[in-house]
């Protein structure tokens, strides 16, 4: 399946989880940051792993407002943030015109350092189960 995993975070734990999603889904692309090095072109699935705050960075917000079906047919989200901020991001993506998969996985990202990469076995299991559900949804 043609899919990409993109990140908008500085938290090491979330970066590790993004790599785990890409490996489990056997993505041919390496995990990239937002905005990506290579533009999206008719991706079947885009997984965004992000730290979501009340004020999104301009580049992240612009990227999300440009998510049309031509760029990505389906978008799934792993988020570290308050429920109300995640809900705002969901609306931005839905308004862009792509299919937003409502099964959002919320993870507490921990410290905002790329070297802080500790992931618990429970979090690994939750990410694996979530990835399986998302992949089954879009196949």
Rounded Cα gap, residues 32 and 2, in angstroms: 15
Q: Nearest Cα to 26, choosing from 119, 124, 132, 101?
A: 132
Residue 109's pLDDT is 74
Alpha helices in 2-120 (DSSP H): 12-24, 58-65, 83-96
Which tens digits make up the pLDDT trace of 100-138? 999 999 998 776 666 667 889 999 999 999 999 999 999
Per-residue pLDDT, 89: 97
Report CA Rg, the chain: 14
* Model confidence, pTM: 0.93
- Summarised one tens digit per residue, pLDDT across range 9-45 is 989 999 999 999 999 998 877 899 999 988 899 999 9
The domain ranges of the chain are 3-138
> 133-137 long-range contacts, Cβ below 8 Å, gap at least 24?
133/103, 134/45, 134/47, 134/76, 134/101, 134/103, 135/1, 135/25, 135/45, 137/74, 137/101, 137/103
3-138 CATH fold: Rossmann fold (3.40.50)
pLDDT at 1 (0 to 100): 77
- For the segment 68-82, the average pLDDT, to the nearest whole number, is 96
């Amino acid at each position: 399946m043609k899919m990409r995993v993109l990140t908008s975070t500085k938290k090491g734990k979330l970066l590790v989880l993004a790599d785990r999603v890409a490996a489990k889904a056997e993505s041919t692309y390496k995990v990239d940051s937002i905005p990506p090095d290579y533009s999206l072109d008719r991706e079947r699935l885009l997984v965004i792993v992000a730290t979501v705050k009340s004020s999104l960075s301009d580049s992240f917000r612009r990227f999300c407002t440009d998510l049309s079906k031509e760029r990505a047919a389906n978008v799934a989200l792993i988020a570290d943030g308050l429920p109300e901020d995640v809900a705002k991001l969901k609306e931005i993506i839905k308004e862009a015109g792509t299919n937003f998969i409502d099964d959002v996985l919320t993870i507490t990202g921990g410290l905002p350092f790329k070297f802080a990469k500790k992931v618990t076995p429970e979090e690994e299991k939750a990410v694996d189960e979530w990835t399986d559900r998302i992949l089954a949804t879009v196949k």
